[in-house]
Homo-oligomer: A and B are copies of this chain.
Amino acid sequence: MRKDALHNRERLLEAARQLFADRGLEVPLEEIARRAEVSIGTLYNRFPSRDDLVEAVFADRVAAVRELAERSLAADDPWEGFVAFLTGVCELQSVDLGYNDLAVRSMGADTREGDALMRRIVARAQEAGMLRLDVTLEDMAFVIWGVAGTVRATFRTVPGAWRRHLALTLDGLRAGAAHPLPVPPMTTTQTEKALGGCDQGASAQGTRGRQRGG
């Protein structure tokens, strides 16, 4: 890859990082190109689809979450580890509207191993008697989706509010708080579908989500 091309790639990523961070994943690509001082054509050269760009921009976060998961799993206190993990993910959400959007449709990690790690974090906290036994990994989606909503609402006005939301949520997840739940947990498949279905931007807006044209 030519040096100038690499340079432009870098500028594009940096521009995208900034714009995604404070406007969410749906900023116009043309605006990203403009901020990178590069033509829109170049952007499409480097990143044929929006998802390619998103993936490149957030690759580091995915890795970070993975590490976070490993650290959390290694924590002395299983509950502390569990809390640290969720707090860490939410912290990332709270600081970057783009990642916030992304988390909503991937539950933070997305990868096979990430999934396995999280499952172990949950299991360990349960075995320690701290996390209620009637929840599953799938229930963690509620935490992410929930905090995502609060982050969207309070991002600019009350930046710390999500911590309170999370704390309340965690109090509901403690073993001692357990009261019978009205419906069974989502299955893995259901969760995957739900995550996948969040694609075309938060609420609805018709068919705006484009496909790659073959």
Contacts and interface: CB of A to CB of B under 8 A. Distances in A.
Contacts of A97: 203-204
Nearest to A189: B157
Chain A contact-residue range equals 35 or more
A146 interface: yes
A190 B158 contact: yes
Given A146-B145, A168-B139, A27 B194 contact: no
Contact of A146 (B139, B150, B173, B177): B150
Interface stretch (A9-17, A18-26, A40-48, A70-78): A18-26
Contacts of A206: 23, 26-28, 31
Tell me whether chain A's interface is mostly helix, strand or loop, or mixed: helix
Interface stretch (A57-65, A109-117, A180-188): A180-188
A84 interface: no
A197 B157 contact: yes
A39 interface: no
Nearest to A147: B146
A97 B171 CA distance: 29
A26 B158 CA distance: 26
A204 B24 CA distance: 5
A157 to B, nearest CB: 4
Nearest to A196: B157
A178 interface: yes
A149 interface: yes
Interface string A98-116: 0011001000000000000
A36 B73 CA distance: 56
Contacts of A195: 153
Contacts of A148: 149
- 5 residue pairs, one from A and one from B, having the closest CB atoms: A172-B172, A202-B202, A24-B204, A146-B146, A145-B149
